[in-house]
Chains A and B, each alone.
Chain A
Amino acid sequence: MADSLAQAKVDRIVILKVDGLPDDLVERYVREPAGVGKEGRSRLPWIERVFQKNGVRMGNYYSRGLSLSAPSWSILDTGRHLEIRAIASTTGTRCVLMIT
């Protein structure tokens, strides 16, 4: 698909957002065999097939900021440098986002 995308017109984007997933863990388990009776098959067969064998991986694409969900997703969702810089939890049921 990657080859065809180089020339193809893109009409649609589907983004799968996985919170807190370390890339090194994905790499490790993609390489790991699925187990007895499943030799030659990855533990993560779909990720291997779609992204590793037929797609593109970016090893140096990361959110440059706090290792917290709200600031990190703000970078990815806006393409801007860190604008939301903290999460301040005020009560058990309310969360206030602070900007500096």
Chain B
Amino acid sequence: MNFFPFYLGYARNRRVDMPGVEVLDEHGIPLLMDRFPYNETFQGFQLYGRGVSWATLRDSLKRTFTGKPAKELFDEWQTGFSVGSSLYTQTERELVASLNNPRIHYLDYFTGEYDHAAHLTNDRVVQLKALEEVDALVGRIWTAISKSPLADSTVLVMVSDHGMNTSEAVYSQGYSLVDWFNSAAGGGQHVLTNRHPSTEFTLKGLDPLVSEVITLSTESTLSGGSVRYVSDGHAGLGWQ
């Protein structure tokens, strides 16, 4: 899920809550966080959020683009700015700071990093890496809770919204259709990706004008060659 188009839309329309929250409000259905006074809550960026923390967004963008050497910025520009990760980092920083405020009684943190990785590929290493990052996040939050003034009366809950089929034999969410189309069984096509969130995984270059393929399937007839392709401006990428 790419939240940034939503945020930009809010900025233009001066909207506050996420659309899902507005729908629920119309039907008089409160959120769990509504059981707490608003000023006693800290919420991460998520689908059902009350208000948009523009300061968090601003600070994450600031950290992405400032304080880095020109060469580092140029390198990131080539591979794609990790704005999404920067937002998660900033939100985590603010969560940890809020844990030190004893007046905050409800806190949540949303991460879509595993979901993004699993939708992109069923590759075990990629998914495990995403899961290990979740584990490390648990460690950092738990450590921060342990040092917080309400450590003895805090409950940490980890929850997921739905599973995902990760079987390599099943054509489902975790199955890599990209790999299959590129394989001999799939006709040796030259499909690169149906998404482009993980530039390090499939693409390098200036997005959306992708200029280089770095992980062609070994079964592709284009493997080993220098491949260029361009955006068709509508449905995705075409070959040149």
Contacts and interface: CB of A to CB of B under 8 A. Distances in A.
Interface of A: 4-5, 8-26, 29, 43-47, 50-51, 55, 61-63, 66-70, 72-74, 76-80, 83-84, 93-97, 99
B159 A9 contact: no
Given A9-B153, A14-B99, A67-B164, 15 more contacts: A13-B105, A14-B156, A16-B159, A17-B159, A18-B158, A20-B173, A21-B115, A21-B134, A22-B163, A46-B135, A46-B136, A55-B156, A67-B162, A77-B32, A96-B19
A38 to B, nearest CB: 12
Interface stretch (B62-70, B74-82, B139-147, B212-220): B139-147
A14 B141 contact: yes
Contact of B31 (A26, A45, A61, A78): A78
A73 B46 contact: yes
A94 B114 contact: no
Nearest to B99: A14
A16 B157 CA distance: 6
B23 interface: yes
A78 B30 contact: yes
B19 A97 contact: yes
Interface stretch (B125-133, B177-185, B195-203, B221-229): B125-133
Contacts of A29: 128, 131
B162 A17 contact: no
A91 to B, nearest CB: 9
Interface residues of B, number: 62
A44 B129 CA distance: 10
B138 A47 contact: yes
26 contacts: A10-B154, A11-B154, A12-B104, A12-B107, A13-B155, A14-B107, A16-B108, A16-B157, A16-B159, A17-B44, A17-B160, A19-B1, A20-B118, A25-B166, A44-B131, A47-B138, A47-B158, A50-B142, A50-B156, A62-B162, A66-B162, A67-B173, A69-B1, A77-B33, A78-B24, A95-B6
Contacts, number: 192
A3 to B, nearest CB: 13
Contacts of B24: 74, 78, 83-84
Interface of B: 1, 5-6, 9, 19-20, 23-24, 27, 29-33, 44, 46-48, 95, 99, 104-112, 114-115, 118-119, 127-128, 131-132, 134-139, 141-142, 145, 150, 152-164, 166, 173
Contact of B128 (A5, A8, A43, A93): A43
Contacts of B29: 78, 80, 83
Instruction: State the 7 A-B residue pairs at the shortest beta-carbon distance, nearest first.
Output: A20-B115, A72-B161, A46-B139, A22-B163, A19-B115, A21-B160, A11-B153
A6 to B, nearest CB: 12
Contacts of A68: 162
A16 B115 contact: no
A52 B226 CA distance: 49
Contacts of A10: 153-155
Nearest to B36: A13
Contacts of B31: 77-78
A50 B138 contact: yes
